[in-house]
Amino acid sequence: MTATLIPDIAELIPHQAPMVLVDSITAWDEHHIICHATSHIERDNPLRDDGRLSVFAGVEYAAQALAAHARLREPGLPPKRGMIATASKLTPCCQWLDEHTGTLTIRVELLASNLTSSMCQFHITCGATDILSGQLTALTAEP
């Protein structure tokens, strides 16, 4: 995997704080990206509901990693707005994302991509603990 100079995640995705959930990218190549995040332990995380962060909020973490990967694969293009079309084959290993206080590692493998959609497999861990895995299909709002 490539570990070249990687821009700030906020430059790659169409979100602004506090919705930028992924902190950093440590490696990527044409088909993979590895990202890290600690925002799941922040009290002001915008995905919290009743003070807790569901493990299924991890789908948004994977979507942000997928969006960043798309921009890295097509340098020079601005971030594109998009939406999660489907999240499937979800395998949670806990109920709450915020019960894990270490850094999350988000691994995404691109399965297919065209001008208007992308599909990936993702796996989120905290240290050696599996948190959430599944598949994600995202649609781009503007081709």
pLDDT digits (tens, 9 = 90+) for 67-103: 999 999 988 777 778 899 999 999 999 999 999 999 9
What average pLDDT does range 33-54 have in this prediction? 96
Could you give the strand order of the β-sheet that contains 117-126, starting from the edge strand earlier in sequence?
24-28, 32-37, 104-113, 117-126, 129-140, 82-92
Q: What angle do CA 102, 108, 113 make, to 5 degrees?
A: 155
Model confidence at 140: pLDDT above 90: no
136 pLDDT band (50/70/90 cuts)?
Answer: very high
Local structure of residue 102 (DSSP, 8 states)? S
**DSSP 3-state assignment of 99?**
helix
Q: How many residues does the chain have?
A: 143
Pick the CATH number of 9-140 from 3.40.50.1470, 3.10.129.10, 3.20.20.100, 3.90.930.12: 3.10.129.10
CA distance 26 to 6: 8
The residue type of 27 is A
**pTM listed for this prediction:** 0.93
**DSSP 3-state assignment of 119?**
strand
For residues 86 and 44, the answer to whether their CB atoms sit within 8 Å is no
Domain map of the chain by residue range? 9-140
Residue position matching structure tokens 């942000």: 64
